[in-house]
Amino acid sequence: MIRLRNEEEFLLPAVESIADAVDEIVLVDNLSTDDTPRLIARLRQKYPRKVACFSYPYEVRRVGREHQELVASGDLSSPHLSGNYYNWCLRRCRHRYVLKWDGDMIATAAFRDAIAQWRRQPVPIL
């Protein structure tokens, strides 16, 4: 699962670096204003059976003061809370285990080795 907002610079290499190591790639765009949506469409075309694309239409409050103010207002079901956003994203995933990846992270060979080892003896956390 990759939550995205304005990740055009590294999105393609980030996804390509994990594509062979995962069963599904869930891309969730959160109101990107750069070229991220077009790149998501390219990835969907390149990996049609693996990539699932979604849009989250609410601006997520930043961790810290913005988040605390919203929580203090008492609206714990707000779609602007990061925890609610995370849960929304997780519900789009079809598999039991979810790897949370960032749109600017590039996997190394050590990552692929770690995933292969984890698949041999699955535990809740990699």
Which tokens belong to 42?
Answer: 């390219």
CB atoms within 10 A of CB 97: 14
* Segment 72-126, tens digit of pLDDT: 999 899 999 999 999 999 999 999 899 999 999 999 999 999 998 888 887 777 7
Q: What is the pLDDT of residue 8?
A: 97
Kindly state the average pLDDT of the residues 11-21.
Answer: 97
Which tokens belong to 44?
Answer: 């969907």
Q: What is the pLDDT of residue 121?
A: 87
Q: What is the pLDDT of residue 63?
A: 86
Q: What is the pLDDT of residue 40?
A: 98
